[in-house]
Amino acid sequence: MRGAGLAFFRSPMEEKLRFACDPARGAAAEGYGSRMLANDDSVLDWRDYFDHHTLPESRRDPTRWPDFVPGYRDTVVKYSNNMKDLAQKLLRIISESLNLPPSYIEEAVGEVYQNITISYYSPCPQPDLALGLQSHSDMGAITLLIQDDVGGLEVLKDGMWLPVSPLPDGILVILADQTEIITNGRYKSAVHRAIVNTDHARLSVATFYDPSKSQKIWTAPQLVCKEHPQKYQDVIYGDYVSSWYSKGPEGKRNIDALLIEQ
């Protein structure tokens, strides 16, 4: 999967632009895009990406993906199916760890909407003025990330940014906001960002396991008690996503807007 991505990003711009995302389709459009320019004057995102809509199969149209890298489309389809299985296994383990029925979180999320985003961060002449990808938490249920050996991902822990050592053969699990809501905060979504450097390009592939826009997400009643009052309001996932796109992450967790005053 990383090889396919790298071959794409190293291809001539005119080839890549044949698969550019359509800005008219909004921020969630599929295809090749670039955030090398700031949309305001504060933070620069120094990142090229390719976003694939992979599940449910009705959204999956491999003709929208590169045709000039041999094996690209088959690789993405295979990877999509494998990552779905792995994400579901992990959600089962998480459910069981909380004494919920194994399929609890999977069912609470409903039909999976999976997107796969390859990010390519080229070397940046002034890394102190830019971020590869600004601070955010992922909005869906769970994200599986693979990366090369360059490093650049950081997670926020106790107010400090900690670098994540890149494990080129590992799959990094990033819990996302809906899992935090369903588990009443027992599992927390991770605030993370990507930084860039002057010398090395970096490639990562994030596979997002998200609910459908119409799915209602609520906290498992089994996890609400006197010691653990309900933390978050119920939310329709589509409304959650729109509020992120209208306000932007700005380093603050989108999920905090749902906090119930205790």
Ligand X SMILES: O=C(O)CCC(=O)C(=O)O
Q: What is the contact surface with ligand X in residues (CB under 6 A)?
A: 117, 119, 133, 138, 145, 147, 153, 192, 194, 204, 206
How buried is residue 87: exposed, middle or buried, by Cβ count under 10 Å (0-12/13-18/19+)? Answer: buried
Q: Which of Fe ion, ligand X, none sits in contact with 137, Cβ below 5 to 8 A by type?
A: none
Query: Distance of CA 92 to CAs 134, 250, 261, Å?
Result: 30, 32, 30
How buried is residue 112: exposed, middle or buried, by Cβ count under 10 Å (0-12/13-18/19+)? Answer: buried
Q: Which of Fe ion, ligand X, none sits in contact with 253, Cβ below 5 to 8 A by type?
A: none
Nearer to ligand X, 106 or 138 (CB): 138
**Closest distance of CB 208 from Fe ion, Å:** 8
Nearer to Fe ion, 55 or 176 (CB): 176
Q: Does 210 bind Fe ion (CB under 5 A)?
A: no
Q: Residue 241 is encoded by which pair of tokens?
A: 């996503």
If you search the block for the tokens 């090889």, which residue do you land on?
A: 3
Which residue stretch of 59-67, 138-146, 213-221, 250-258 sits at the interface with Fe ion (rule: CB under 5 A)?
Answer: 138-146
Judged by DSSP in three states, 138 sits in coil
Q: Where are the alpha helices (DSSP H) in 98-214?
A: 104-109, 177-182
Q: Which of Fe ion, ligand X, none sits in contact with 230, Cβ below 5 to 8 A by type?
A: none
Q: Which residues of 12-30 are buried (b: 16+ CB within 10 A; e: fewer)?
A: eeeebeebebeeeeeeeeb
Among 138, 154, 177, 210, binds Fe ion (CB under 5 A): 138
**Closest distance of CB 102 from Fe ion, Å:** 26
**Closest distance of CB 36 from ligand X, Å:** 15
**Closest distance of CB 192 from ligand X, Å:** 5
Q: Could you tell me which of 171, 187, 181 has the C-alpha nearest to residue 233?
A: 181
**Closest distance of CB 139 from ligand X, Å:** 9
Q: Does 177 bind Fe ion (CB under 5 A)?
A: no
Q: Could you tell me which of 203, 191, 78 has the C-alpha nearest to residue 138?
A: 191
Nearer to Fe ion, 106 or 138 (CB): 138
By CB under 5 A, name the binding residues for Fe ion. Answer: 138
